[in-house]
Chain A
Amino acid sequence: QSVLTQPPSVSAAPGQKVTISCSGSSSNIENNYVSWYQQLPGTAPKLLIYENNKRPSGIPDRFSGSKSGTSATLGITGLQTGDEADYFCGTWDNSLSEGVFGGGTTLTVL
Chain B
Amino acid sequence: EVELLESGGGLVQRGGSLRLSCVASGFTFSSYAMSWVRQAPGKGLEWLSAISSFTNGGRTSYADSVKGRFTISRDNSKNTLYLQVNSLGADDTAIYYCVKGPARDCFDYWGQGTLVTVSS
Q: Chain A residues in contact with chain B, CB under 8 A?
A: 2, 32-35, 37, 43-47, 50-51, 56, 88, 90-92, 96-104
Contacts and interface: CB of A to CB of B under 8 A. Distances in A.
A107 to B, nearest CB: 15
B63 A32 contact: no
Contact of A101 (B46, B109, B110): B46
Contacts of B37: 99, 101
Contacts, number: 65
A98 B106 CA distance: 12
B108 interface: yes
16 contacts: A35-B107, A45-B110, A46-B110, A47-B107, A50-B106, A50-B108, A51-B106, A88-B45, A90-B105, A90-B106, A96-B64, A98-B61, A99-B50, A100-B47, A101-B46, A104-B45
A97 B61 contact: yes
Given A92-B105, A102-B44, 9 more contacts: A33-B105, A44-B112, A45-B97, A45-B110, A99-B37, A100-B47, A101-B46, A101-B47, A104-B45
> Top 7 nearest A-B pairs by Cβ distance?
A99-B47, A33-B105, A101-B45, A50-B106, A35-B106, A92-B105, A44-B110
B104 A50 contact: yes
B113 A44 contact: yes
Contacts of A97: 61
Interface of B: 35, 37, 44-47, 50, 61, 63-64, 97, 102, 104-113
A56 B102 CA distance: 15
Contacts of B102: 92, 99
Contacts of A102: 44
A56 B104 CA distance: 14
A101 B97 CA distance: 14
